[in-house]
Structure 1
Amino acid sequence: MPEAPRTDGGALAPADVDVVTTGSRRKIPAHSSVLASASPVLESILQRRLQRVKESGKPGRVLVRIRGVTDDVAAAFVRLLYAGRRGDGETAVVDEDVERYAEQLLVLAHAYGVPWLKRWCQEAIGSRLTPGTVVDALQLADLCDAPQLHLRCMRLLAKEFRAVERTEAWRFLRENDPWQELDVLSRLQDADLRRRRWRRKSAEQRVYMELSDAMDTLHHICKDGCTEVGPLGQAPAQTPCPSYATCRGLQLLIQHFSRCKSRTTCARCQRMWQLLRLHAALCRLPERHCNTPLCSQFKRKEEQKEEMATPVSPKAGGSGGGGDGRWGLLVKKVKAVRVMSSLAKRSPADTEC
């Protein structure tokens, strides 16, 4: 038994509670102050029992019955309540109790309102999950309101579902509890949809970042006259280009665009047209102050579209219908990425007031 509370004189205070299990004659001595401070449920039970003993005037220990577990599990539960009170939850005895009786202790911790013990048990059960035990652990997590264990079970189910399907526990669940099976499958489907949505958004964000880098490179080429590029520290570039791969690829695209005779059908030329149009939509320089080709022409063309657009018709989709609506969304996304990138590149000294 862990160290009991001491009296003012330093002597050990006598135990005033006996913990017993259903159908057992073994009594586990404990102290009401320890049990009450560790569990609000036990505190409520002990208050009623102690009041009855006080009213009856008969001396003796209060009897607390823990149902549904063995004597060893009940003794481990009492030891852990003492360990949690003293804050020595890292001792070897405590670790052995949690590891050995984690499932039963999780039920007791939930029933008697001991949150720190629930966390310990969830970690112990989650650390040894396998495809053969994950179904039972998931049902236990739902029963005991254990979100940390539930999350670990769902992760393992999503990762090893083919192996889980072949286990006896899953076959038993399918035959005896189809609603639970349907709930698990729907959760897995929702998780898969969220994962696919996140991947799609990440891919879109990478595209916007690449377009933002292409705009910076295009401005760099047209403003700085970067026509001879090479890796850092190598000739013939007198001032090495900081973004060699992007700059070189964009220069090759510009060279092809200037020489191609079939720009209306060429895929590479169409890509260059889109980059130039995107630059014009993002450019804020006055007319004739931008060195990028076709910037002024694209700006005038967009202005003409805005003047010809009918503001009364909401079905027109803004200027130019559905295609330009998607184009406007692309421009907004690239603008947002450029703003966030510029804020990330600012030094702490620039943000000081």
Structure 2
Amino acid sequence: MKEVFPSDVHVMTSGRLRIPVDSTILAAASPVLESIIDRPRKQQITIPILGVPCHAVSVFINFLYSSRCDEEQMDKYGIHLLALSHVYLVTQLKQRCTKGLAKRLTVENVVDVLQLARLFDAPDLNIKCMKMLCKNFKAVEETEGWKFLQDNDPWLQLEILHFMDEAASRKKRAKRHMREQNIYLQLSEAMECLEHICTEGCTSVGPYDMEPGVKKGPCNKFSTCQGLQLSIKHFAACKTRKANGGCSRCKRMWQLLRLHASICEHQTDNDKCKVPLCRQFKLKMQQERLGEDETRWKLLVRKVISAKAISSLSLPKRKREEEPRIVMNQNDMKGVGLYRTMKG
């Protein structure tokens, strides 16, 4: 390395190479070197940096001067520079080495780099190694590094297996959470479509007070709205609703009406909700005692309300042929006579 600044300190490498350096530069870059330089001395001080290749020490000193380290140097001496940056507390170089080694991880070297990351307190690199081990465990098992680990460091092997088990559990929980959120989003969308059908009407079902002969085109959530309209038609015409244990499709429709009542924001007589049975469900919920089933129901309601708040789903419009419209009369909401077919 060329001497750019006046040198009052020498760095001694394992190969007996003496590198002249400026103590001011070293002290500013490393608190460890600063403490060594500040010791009382009678003659020019020599700082031994041993245990790594001479060229790695040269690259290290050059970084202290210039704060630069190119990719070729990182390829050759990345591990040695990580060790030196850790020992001499050169934070900037340590971060550079952590990122550089993370990009150079392979199935063959991941176990070795993991051990070094733990030894030199590099948590980001440690996590990168762990994730790569999880992703390529079968291939890593065949490497010499893993076999050495099995024979010499069973505790680290156990920690890796525990991390893999936790990662698998987290992945399962994340998938389950996504499935649940999808269900809540679907229910939230169904609530919007139910209110839309009962208030404005859609292609084949609409409110009882809708002007006769008015035809509605598909809405922007028609895939959900169409399924709900088919359920409403079935609910209106089903004759086995109460026989033989009841109809499962009707029970689901009943639950959707109850769920709507639980999240409906219409409160006053002047602001009446047009969804059938909404007021009756609200009165019943006020009279019921809070039991285990009711607690679960309230939890479901909160989840659907939360999904409604964050939902921004918008399904494309679809064209379909007009069908005879079914209209809903909130004043005739008893038994099968809840709906009637609109004439004309």
Structure-1 residue corresponding to 2:160:
184
Residue among 64, 68, 75 paired with 1:81:
64
String of CA shifts for 1:191-231, please: whole Å, max 9, x gaps. 222222222222222221211111111000000022349xx
Q: Report % sequence identity.
A: 47
SS at match of 1:101: helix
Are 1:251 and 2:229 an aligned pair?
yes
In structure 2, the partner of 1:18 is 10
Whether the 8 Å contact between 1:2 and 1:83 is mirrored in structure 2 is no
Q: CA deviation at 1:282?
A: 1.3
User: CA separation in 2, counterparts of 1:225 and 1:238?
Assistant: 7
Structure 1 residue runs of 4+, over 6 Å off? none
CA contact (8 A) 1:19 1:27 kept: yes
Q: Which residue of 2 aligns with 1:328?
A: 298
Q: Give the C-alpha shift of residue 300 in structure 1.
A: 2.9
Q: TM-score, normalised by structure 1?
A: 0.79
Q: Indicate how the Cα distance of structure 1 residues 41 and 237 shifts in structure 2: closer, same or farther if over 3 A, else same.
A: farther
| Counterpart check, 1:281 vs 2:259 | no
C-alpha distance in structure 2 between counterparts of 1:260 and 1:171, whole Å: 68
- The structure 2 residue matched to 1:109, chosen from 81, 85, 90, is 85
SS in 1 for 2:105: coil
| Cα deviations by residue, 1:56-86 (Å, 9 ceiling, x for unpaired) | xx5xx320101211212211211121121xx
Alpha carbons 2:85, 2:93 under 8 Å: kept: yes
The correspondence of residues 143-158 of structure 1 with structure 2, limited to 5 A, is: 143-158=119-134
1:232 — aligned with what? none
Letter in 1 for 2:196: H
The residue correspondences of 1:282-301 to structure 2 (distance < 5 A) are 282-285=263-266, 286=268, 289-301=272-284
Counterparts in 2 of 1:166 and 1:265: CA distance versus 1, 3 Å: farther
Matched, 1:261 2:242: no
2:198, 2:293 → 1: CA distance? 29
Matched residue, 2:32: 41
Q: Name the SS of the counterpart of 2:38 in structure 1.
A: helix
Report the Cα distance in structure 2 between the residues aligned to 1:103 and 1:197, rounded to whole angstroms.
36
1:224 aligns with 2:200: yes
CA change 1:237–1:28 in 2 (3 A) is farther
Superposition map of 1:300-315 within 5 A: 300-305=283-288, 309=289
SS of structure 1 residue aligned to 2:106? coil
Question: Which amino acid in the other structure matches residue 252 of structure 1?
Answer: L
One-letter amino acid of the counterpart of residue 46, structure 1: I
Show structure 2 runs of 5+ residues with no match.
Answer: 206-213, 313-344
Q: 1:15 to 1:3 in 2, by over 3 A?
A: closer
One-letter identity of the residue aligned with 1:202? M
Give the distance between the partners of 2:60 and 2:83, measured in 1 at CA.
11
Offset at 1:21?
2.1
Cα-Cα RMSD: 2.2
| Change in CA separation of 1:247 and 1:262 when aligned onto 2, cut-off 3 Å | same
TM norm structure 2:
0.81
Instruction: Tell me the CA shift for residue 338 of structure 1.
Output: 2.8
Say which SS state the counterpart of residue 227 (structure 2) adopts. helix
1:290 is paired with a residue of what secondary structure?
coil
Give distance in 1, aligned partners of 2:52 and 2:149: 24
Amino acid at match of 1:52: R
Q: Is the 8 A contact 2:11 2:46 kept in 1?
A: yes
Say which SS state the counterpart of residue 261 (structure 2) adopts.
Answer: helix
Matched residues, number: 299
The alpha carbon displacement at 1:39 in A equals 0.8
Residue 252 of structure 2: aligned partner: 271
The equivalent residue for 1:10 is none
Instruction: Report the Cα distance in structure 2 between the residues aligned to 1:2 and 1:29, rounded to whole angstroms.
Output: 9
How far apart, CA to CA, are the structure 1 residues paired with 2:148 and 2:16? 36
| Partner SS for 2:273 | coil
Task: Within 5 Å, give how 1:71-220 maps onto structure 2.
Answer: 71-84=54-67, 89=68, 94-220=70-196
Q: Output the CA distance in 1 between the equivalents of 2:218 and 2:236.
A: 25
Q: Which has the higher contact order (CA 8 A, sep 6+)?
A: 2
Would you say the 8 A contact 1:2–1:79 is kept in 2?
Answer: no
Listed as ranges, the matches of 1:58-73 within 5 Å are: 58=43, 61-73=44-56
- Distance in 2, matches of 1:239 and 1:135, equals 62
